Amino acid sequence: MPSAEVDYSKAHDRLESKEGIQNNSSLIDTPGGLAILEIQGVLNLPTKLNSTHQLLDDTAIDSDLVRQAIKFGDLQLEDNNKATLYIGKSQRLVGTVESIDPPLGVLKFSNHVENDENKNSSSKIEMIEIVDKKIVFRTRPLPIM
Amino acid sequence: MKTMETYSYLVPDASYKLIELSPELLEVIKLQKSGISIKASSHDSLDLVLTTDTKTFQLREKKHSNTQLLIKEKNEKIIGFSSFGSALELNKTIGRINYSNVPIYNGNLSKFKERLLKNQSISISVDELILQSPISRGEFDNHWIELNGSEIENIAVILSSNFITEILTLLINIIIANDLNFNNLNLYKIFQIIEIEIENEIENITIDILETVLKKFSKNLQNPFKIDFLKISKWYGIEMLKLYSTNSIEIDEFCLNWKSSIPSSLTSIESISIDLNMLKGYYYKITGSTNKIKYLNKHSLPMDNTSRFKALFQLNKYWDLDEFEPFIIDLNEKNLKITSFIMKYARVQKQGNKTIISSR
């Protein structure tokens, strides 16, 4: 730092395109396709992998970097803003799709070296998305029956 | 109904942060009218602000105990790629200029240059100062003029009060002698006159300095300038008050001195208002007296709430609310009603149409 400009052109486009959509009730039907999934407490993922784990190689949304993701459940969305998250084989969480007020901006921080002669390293900050919906699971896990 | 496999990155991508968007910031993003920057107060500071072109917001990390996953939908799968235990919260604040290292210029260019050679660390430009200060551009422009900020050969400086008075007096005399219009003053024309008429002064006065002084005493910040006589009167009043920081003076006598400190060339052609109300925040009445005042520099007061109130009551036991308020207004960060704020630290009493503040 000490000062970095925030490039918010993508967040702006997001607001513009949202105005065109009349009935934006579906969850991740946004141009950037981002939302928030909120669980009370901590989501514990396995630290050691074994053959039963279902893995997925994913490219990051804003770079070619490939990262490994692990399956931790199935998300079921119903039309009436209800959501169920099945975790593993024995637990399910019941939740709802809610609006976030105030909406949350998603900031992406990246350090890069400028190509000028000074080669000053500077940080680049981009607001890539505005998220206004989240799926919240407030209750304790229930058994799958 | 729709069911999707749900994944999470084994190592969450830590380069993302969530920020709560206030209606003001949403408006900026929607209309694209202003730039947005994030600034640190200093290189090693974790104190962050977000600025638009005209406003400054403190950024605070708001922690929560829930897990928030930022998810995306890809090929009918949900992938959580970043995880958050906090979000950044915006609180509107007053921007500050980090001017502690900015040198003071008292009108002697050769001495100033000598000092700079000895101490290179103090030479930064105004543009660099803006980048290093937790303040929006619009607030900076106003606050910088209030601080007597200017620029000499690309170095940010603060003009000394005596030097400002010197230039102001010179400016008034030039305007009157050349029959210029107080409501339509051209910076370049005045500078030209100074260059021709006042040869021995010109090496110490740059066009940037002249512009600073014109901005300081005008109703507008752009050329051509429109002089604000109230600002001129207030300036001479404060400078006169500064003479009474150790000894008090009676209000009537002070007002006479104040009036006579304003160049008579100006008072003879314009009616210049002299009213002690203009100097609130610069003086206090000494205990037990209703007509004796002393100068008080509010920047010399403690920054902590309790100590500030205590220090003020040591100077005067009973204050009028309107004379008290300017000395503590910056402490009222939550913007409470001013009497409610004062009541936390002092006694507030109504006496007729006056509100008296005293210690508890």
Task: Name the stretches of chain B with pLDDT < 50.
Answer: none
Rounded to the nearest 5 degrees, what angle is found at the Cα of B306, between the Cα atoms of B300 and B310?
65
Cβ separation of A104 and B18 shorter than 8 Å?
yes
Q: Render pLDDT for A55-107 as a digit per residue (tens, 0 to 9).
A: 888 877 767 788 888 888 899 988 888 999 998 778 889 999 998 888 999 99
Q: Is the CB of B20 inside 8 Å of chain A's CB atoms?
A: yes
**What is residue A31's predicted lDDT score, i.e. its pLDDT?**
52
Give a yes or no: residue A1 inside a domain: no
| Mean pLDDT confidence for A7-21 | 78
Q: Is the CB of B336 inside 8 Å of chain A's CB atoms?
A: no
**What is residue B317's predicted lDDT score, i.e. its pLDDT?**
93
- Per the CB < 8 A criterion, the answer to whether B34 and B44 are in contact is no
Which one of B30, B66, B140 makes the best mutation probe of the A interface by having the most chain A beta carbons within 10 Å? B66
Give a yes or no: residue A67 inside a domain: yes
- What whole-number percentage of chain B has pLDDT above 70? 97
- What whole-number percentage of chain A has pLDDT above 70? 79
Work out the angle between the directed axes of helices B137-146 and B207-216 (0-180°, nearest 10).
Answer: 90
| Mean pLDDT confidence for A32-52 | 81
Give contacts of B19 with chain A, Cβ < 8 Å.
Answer: 104-107, 127
Cβ separation of A76 and B3 shorter than 8 Å?
yes
Q: Render pLDDT for B228-273 as a digit per residue (tens, 0 to 9).
A: 999 999 999 999 999 999 999 999 999 999 999 999 999 888 889 9
Q: Render pLDDT for B95-106 as a digit per residue (tens, 0 to 9).
A: 889 898 899 999
Cα dihedral B264, B270, B275, B277 in deg (nearest 10): -120
- B120 class by beta-carbon count within 10 Å (0-12 exposed, 13-18 middle, 19+ buried): exposed
The predicted complex's ipTM stands at 0.85
Segments forming the whole domain that contains residue A84: 6-19+30-39+60-140
Handedness of CA A97, A102, A103, A105 (dihedral sign): negative
Greater confidence (B357 vs A17) lies with B357
**What one-character DSSP code corresponds to residue B82?**
E
How is chain B split into domains, by residue range? 5-93, 104-216, 228-296, 304-360
**pLDDT of A24 strictly over 60:** no
What topology does CATH give the domain B5-93?
Immunoglobulin-like (2.60.40)
Give a yes or no: residue A46 inside a domain: no
Give a yes or no: residue A111 inside a domain: yes
Question: For the whole model, what pTM was predicted?
Answer: 0.81
Query: Total structural domains in chain A?
Result: 1
